[in-house]
A and B are shown apart, each in its own frame.
Chain A
Amino acid sequence: MGEDTDVNENGAVDEGSDLDPRTAATLLEQTKRRAQRQFEFPSPLLTLIQAGAVLAAYGAIWLSVRGQNPYSGPSYPALAALYAFVAVAAIAATWEGRRASAGVIRRSSRQQWSRAIPLVAAFLAVYVLMGALRYDGFSHAIVYGILPAAGPLIVVGAAMAGYAAAREEWQVLGVAVAAIAVGAGSAFAGPVGVWGVAGAGICAVLVCRAIVQVWLRRA
């Protein structure tokens, strides 16, 4: 066993015969909390970054379509801003994921992949549906407004909810169900308003999640 480093077999090893139970309980609690915090993904900070990125991305689109009559869809700079904010959120998630999983050997790496497959499939399906609706002659308001704003929240939220329920990840399930509700509800705001309502709604959901994460850490 062990690394090929300076193995000191006779190193001073403390024994716990005089370890007070109160001290042991405190040490156990502190160690558990510290370890959970170090392995935690996403952290409350990352959740807040994601909340900000979603608000900025949807907000950029909303600003570009505001006042359009008839609705023609977001401008290219607004779309570029959306992808830039999505990239910021993805980079932050990758960086933090690496920090949290450094040195962790997952026996369940196949499960991680199986989690991504339905999410990616659901996400891509929205764009295929957009193409089909455009081909069938649906208006810009539906194809480039309501569907791309609300659709991903509903279908990705549903895929995530199913996965989270199967694994009993209640916090993720709550976020997923809230995303479905925001997506479905925001569609009532019309092709312009949907971007603002969905962005603000998802931002609020993620901020709530960050608050719950901090609260659970302290509980």
Chain B
Amino acid sequence: MTAGVLDPLIHVPARLRIVATLAALPEGDALSFTRLQKMIGLTPGNLITHLRKLEHAGYLSTEKNGSGVASHTSVALSNHGRAALDTYTAALRDLLAGL
């Protein structure tokens, strides 16, 4: 078994940290972009790029409230994203057990 079996969308340090951080919240809860950025330590541009990839795959949803400088974006892991992380974790465990 190789690293090829691991979901390539999650198997990236930044996206792995994003998904793992959001998974620590109870199902249905969301996190503000600002706090997520503080916790992950990425630049806003980098974080947005990673979030877009995950959102296009249906792993998370984003919601924007307000407009202009007062706007707030929140990010939540979808059920699909939570299941993908579970699958990724199981695959990683199998892979490490086989080494």
Query: A31 an interface residue at 8 Å Cβ cutoff?
Result: yes
Give the CA-CA distance A123 to B8 in the complex, in Å.
53
**Closest chain A CB from B53 CB (angstroms):** 8
- How many interface residues does B have (CB within 8 Å)? 51
> A5, B44: Cβ atoms under 8 Å?
yes
CB < 8 Å A-B pair total: 127
What B residues does A38 contact at CB under 8 A?
39
> A28, B12: Cβ atoms under 8 Å?
no
> A31, B35: Cβ atoms under 8 Å?
no
What A residues does B17 contact at CB under 8 A?
27, 31
What A residues does B25 contact at CB under 8 A?
39, 104
Give the CA-CA distance A107 to B11 in the complex, in Å.
28
Interface pairs (22), CB distance under 8 Å: A1-B64, A7-B48, A8-B43, A10-B45, A13-B46, A14-B14, A21-B6, A21-B95, A21-B96, A22-B96, A24-B11, A24-B13, A24-B92, A27-B16, A31-B21, A35-B39, A103-B32, A103-B36, A104-B30, A105-B76, A107-B30, A108-B29
What does the 1/0 interface line of A11-39 toward B look like (CB < 8 Å)? 11111110111101101100110111011
> B46, A8: Cβ atoms under 8 Å?
yes
What A residues does B95 contact at CB under 8 A?
21
**Closest chain A CB from B14 CB (angstroms):** 6
What B residues does A32 contact at CB under 8 A?
20, 23-24
> B31, A1: Cβ atoms under 8 Å?
no
**Closest chain A CB from B47 CB (angstroms):** 8
Cβ 8 A contact of B43, one of A1, A11, A21, A104: A11
What B residues does A3 contact at CB under 8 A?
33-34, 44, 71-73
Q: From known contacts A1-B64, A1-B73, A3-B73, infer whether A28 and B16 are also in contact, taking CB-CB under 8 Å.
A: yes
**Closest chain B CB from A60 CB (angstroms):** 37
Interface residues of chain B, those whose CB is within 8 Å of chain A, are 3, 6, 8, 11-17, 20-21, 23-26, 28-36, 39, 43-46, 48-52, 55, 62, 64, 68-69, 71-74, 76, 89, 92-93, 95-96, 99
**Closest chain A CB from B54 CB (angstroms):** 11
Query: Which secondary structure characterizes the binding site on chain B?
Result: helix
Cβ 8 A contact of B24, one of A11, A22, A39: A39
> B74, A1: Cβ atoms under 8 Å?
no
> A1, B62: Cβ atoms under 8 Å?
yes
What A residues does B74 contact at CB under 8 A?
105
> B30, A8: Cβ atoms under 8 Å?
no
> B51, A1: Cβ atoms under 8 Å?
yes
**Closest chain B CB from A207 CB (angstroms):** 26
Q: From known contacts A7-B45, A16-B12, infer whether A2 and B33 are also in contact, taking CB-CB under 8 Å.
A: yes
Q: From known contacts A3-B71, A4-B71, infer whether A16 and B46 are also in contact, taking CB-CB under 8 Å.
A: no
